[in-house]
Amino acid sequence: MSASIQSGKATVSVPESRAVVPEGQNCVTPEALTNRQRFLNACHCRPMDRPPVWLMRQAGRALPEYRALKERYSFLELVQTPELAAEVTLQPIRRFDFDAAILFCDILAVAEGLGQRYRFREQGGIEMEFLLKSAADIERLEVSAVNERLQYVAKALPLVKAALNGRTALLGFAGSPWTLANYMLEGGGVTEYTKAKALFQADSPLFSRLLEKLAKAVAGFLQLQIDAGADAVQIFDSLGGLLPDNDFAAASARWLKQIVESLKGQAPVIVFSKDAHGNWDELVGTGAQVLGIDWKVELADVCARLPKGVAVQGNLEPSLLTTTPPIVAAAAERILRQMRGRPGHIFNLGHGVPPDAKLENIQSLVDTVRSFK
């Protein structure tokens, strides 16, 4: 049996759940736990039969069914059409039955909501409609308009939620204020990000004005996603590692904490700050229930420094998905052995699925996690 939603654009469906466990119940038998409950248990460091598994960028470019859609629609059409965004979100769930689905969107949706739209250049890469060059440009950003402009996200999430039918967790997400500031000041993706750091160092009040707007916009966008059915949300601080350790608290962690506090524990928050390895105390201080860990550190070593009540997510090296199933299985087993017995581990990559990942390697990863005892 399956649940499905018909639309003029797409049909979205996944297998129905065989057993739904009340959210507060800590049953650990494989027959009783749904994928959703397993994921939520991990977020709260509750007992599990095995770690839940999902992958950053699991929806999209590595899947042939996604590439088929891209022949008919642009990336922005897929993101901004609720039925299509739901379809892309569900594609990896149908294929791999991950424990969590993450809405297909882009971190620059918040910039769009603020009034700074983005597009993809013909030669590739993101380009913002205009650059933030002055205080006047920053004042143009409309926090109050974000949720109205991003209603396509609010419409897509219930479509996914209905198709998941209680079996699989649903994640929303947003970019962090620091990471968004870099893109918005540079005008898109660049080889070297310098303008946000320069603004932070040269004009602290104006930097704070920009980050305050971004923090409020991100918080509102995440609240919109929770209200629309997201079970948990992730904040991608993908450029956190650009900051010197002694600047991380003021330029990134402060704003992450403000966002987490604004959500008031309504849903678990995952903070993933790539390459910010000298700032575990600051990341714990954000109040996030889960910290995403990239692949450049030993997961067990990081866990030894974190409070027992903080869950972790990670951290297989993404490039391994371009190798062979035995290599992937061996690397995944190594992480699983390191984490055996520690509540609160969500298996994931240390960054996103690479575009040339092989499907048999993703399947090997999922099978390895599912069979681990």
Buried b (16+ CB within 10 A) or exposed e, 201-232: eeeeeebbebbebbbbbbbbbbbbbbebbbbb
Q: How many CB atoms lie within 10 A of CB 373?
A: 6
Query: Which residues face 15 on adjacent strands?
Result: 2
Structure-derived torsion over alpha carbons of residues 341, 346, 348, 351, reported in degrees to the nearest 10: -110
pLDDT for res 122: 63
| Domain count across the chain | 1
At 98 the pLDDT is 98
Averaged pLDDT score across all residues of the chain? 91
Cis peptide before 315, with omega less than 30 degrees from 0? Answer: yes
29 pLDDT higher than 80: no
Mean pLDDT of the region 18-43:
66
Q: Which residue has the tokens 């109205």?
A: 148
Question: Residue 123 — pLDDT band, cuts 50, 70, 90?
Answer: low
For residue 14, what are its two tokens?
Answer: 């996944």
CATH of the domain at 285: 3.20.20.210
pLDDT tens-digit readout, 316-346: 999 999 999 999 999 999 999 999 988 899 9
* Predicted structure pTM score: 0.91
Q: What is the DSSP string of 196-258?
A: HHHHHHH-HHHHHHHHHHHHHHHHHHHHHHHHTT-SEEEEEETTGGGS-HHHHIIIIIHHHHH
Looking at residue 126, its pLDDT comes to: 82
Q: Do 262 and 235 form a contact (C-beta atoms < 8 A)?
A: no
Residues 270 and 292: their CA atoms lie apart, in Å, by 7
Which residues span the domain enclosing 257? 2-371
